Amino acid sequence: MNKLLLVIGLVFCLKLSAQSDIKFKELTHSFGKIKQNKPVTYLFSFTNLGNKPLIVENAMAGCGCTTPDYPKQPIGKGKEAKITVTYNAAALGTFKKDVTVKFANHPEPVVLVIEGEVLAKGGKEPIIAPN
């Protein structure tokens, strides 16, 4: 029983330490109100706090309206890098979109979120027709 608890504790500690070597300045960004068909972009900054180079394996958006771009080169110890997330703003109304970022040798991905509200080109609130 003690060995099982020791193994579980060790796995938990390793998982925590693996994630703690990546520090994002923020995981969510609100664009507020934006104009339709005017794409918006946000740069999510993160720092490698670990002792080894950090590698972004991929960044995948939850839909085709959001495009992530991530560093393809390893990020050195203590260095900062950015993941660029662009939303196309084609659909009117509120939005909340996720980008899942997978780092090499890290069991859990990091989820970045962008949100806001797309207004008609004239800057007016979207008109919702009654049913």
- Name the residue type at position 3: K
pTM: 0.79
Q: Is residue 9 part of a domain?
A: no
- Summarised one tens digit per residue, pLDDT across range 25-46 is 999 999 999 999 999 999 999 9
Number of domains the chain is built from? 1
Q: Is 114 exposed, middle or buried (0-12, 13-18, 19+ CB in 10 A)?
A: buried
Give a yes or no: residue 16 inside a domain.
Answer: no
Domain assignment of residue 112, yes or no: yes
Q: Are 112 and 90 in contact (CB under 8 A)?
A: no
- Look up the domain containing 56 and give its range: 22-119
Is the residue at 93 inside a domain? yes
Q: What is the CATH number of the domain that holds 57?
A: 2.60.40.10
Is 107 inside any structural domain?
yes
- Specify the pLDDT at position 106: 93
The answer on pLDDT for 53 being more than 60 is yes
Q: Per-residue pLDDT tens for 56-91?
A: 999 999 999 999 999 999 999 999 999 999 999 999
Q: Label the pairing between strands 110-119 and 28-35.
A: parallel
126 inside domain: no
C-alpha 110/C-alpha 83 separation (Å) is 12
